[in-house]
């Protein structure tokens, strides 16, 4: 299941282009926030198509006509390797870590060290995180964290594996009280109403994901896509990226 969202709040000139962007959730809210400003400044409009990494790869393999892909450096690296994106048509956008979500107003247990995180995970009644099969980096890494802490069996027995992280963030389960803790990229937690960021994983257990954009060789609007890339490298875009819980590439 995917969600399409067209951002076009101002009239566009006759030569305006529609830029179709296939994106994972990490950048989705940033693009939503700054899309109208880009539209006004450029005359173009962007269409967002939301999908997890594995689906992004499947859709590109099936020759879906999109102009830009935004996802992890792993996904973009695979697309470059497959000849779908030219190495010179990539833009590093941000870095983002993995965090823990709690319901807004709930108790805030300690996760400041590996031992504290271990105690908190064992004490939690339920946990939700991205199904590693979806290709989401947070789920893949959290499985490794559980193995490293030696509590994989106990935690997995009470966990919900979120198989649709692009359309249903794990933090939404937490916001609705369906899970006590949620593990997800920080940018995907702070955008969910009713959930709060408890904090990032401890430094010793953290993994930073690099979010990259790439223009497909089959793009119908490559020039407009490059105009978008220029905008995404601007201070205004950097401020929106930072507000979303990520580190802009320039920092």
153-162 per-position pLDDT tens digit: 999 999 999 9
Q: Which residue, 218, 212, 224, is CA-closest to 63?
A: 218
- Contact between residue 120 and residue 114 where contact means Cβ atoms under 8 Å apart: no
CATH code of 3-95+210-248, in short, is: 3.40.190.10
pLDDT at 6: 41
- Contact between residue 159 and residue 70 where contact means Cβ atoms under 8 Å apart: no
Alpha carbon distance 94, 90 (integer Å): 13
* Phi and psi based region of residue 63 (left: phi greater than 0; alpha: psi -120 to 50; beta: remaining): left
Q: Domain 98-205's class? A: alpha beta
Q: Where are the domains of the chain?
A: 3-95+210-248, 98-205
pLDDT at 135: 82
Task: Confirm whether 3-95+210-248 and 98-205 share one CATH topology.
Answer: yes
pLDDT at 10: 41
pLDDT at 209: 92
- Which DSSP letter does residue 250 get? T
DSSP E strands, 131-179: 159-162
Residues of the chain with pLDDT under 50: 1-12, 14
pLDDT at 1: 41
Question: Edge to edge, what strands does the sheet with 159-162 contain?
Answer: 159-162, 127-130, 181-185, 98-103, 195-200
The whole model's pTM is what?
A: 0.83
19-35 per-position pLDDT tens digit: 999 998 888 888 988 88
pLDDT at 250: 67
pLDDT at 32: 86
pLDDT at 251: 53
Alpha carbon distance 39, 57 (integer Å): 27
């Amino acid at each position: 299941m995917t969600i399409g969202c067209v951002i076009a709040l101002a009239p566009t000139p006759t030569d305006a282009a529609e830029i179709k962007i296939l994106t994972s959730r990490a950048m989705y809210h940033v693009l939503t926030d700054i899309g109208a400003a880009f539209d006004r400044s450029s005359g173009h409009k962007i269409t967002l198509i939301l999908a997890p990494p594995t689906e992004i790869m499947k859709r590109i393999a099936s020759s879906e006509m999109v102009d830009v892909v935004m996802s992890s450096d792993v996904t973009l690296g695979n697309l470059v390797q497959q000849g779908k994106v030219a190495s010179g048509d990539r833009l590093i956008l941000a870095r983002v870590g993995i965090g823990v979500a709690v319901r807004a107003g709930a108790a805030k247990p300690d996760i400041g060290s590996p031992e504290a995180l271990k105690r908190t995970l064992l004490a939690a009644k339920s946990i939700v995180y991205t199904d590693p099969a979806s290709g989401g980096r947070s789920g893949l890494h959290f499985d490794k964290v559980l193995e490293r802490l030696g509590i994989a069996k106990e935690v997995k027995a009470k966990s919900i594996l979120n198989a649709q992280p692009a359309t249903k963030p794990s933090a939404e389960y937490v916001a609705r009280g369906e899970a006590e803790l949620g593990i997800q990229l920080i940018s995907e937690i702070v955008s969910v109403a009713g959930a709060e960021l408890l904090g990032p994983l401890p430094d010793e257990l953290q993994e930073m994901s690099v979010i990259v954009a790439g223009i497909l060789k089959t793009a119908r609007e490559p020039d407009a896509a490059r105009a978008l890339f220029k905008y995404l490298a601007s201070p205004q875009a950097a401020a929106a990226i930072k507000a979303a819980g990520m580190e802009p590439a320039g920092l």
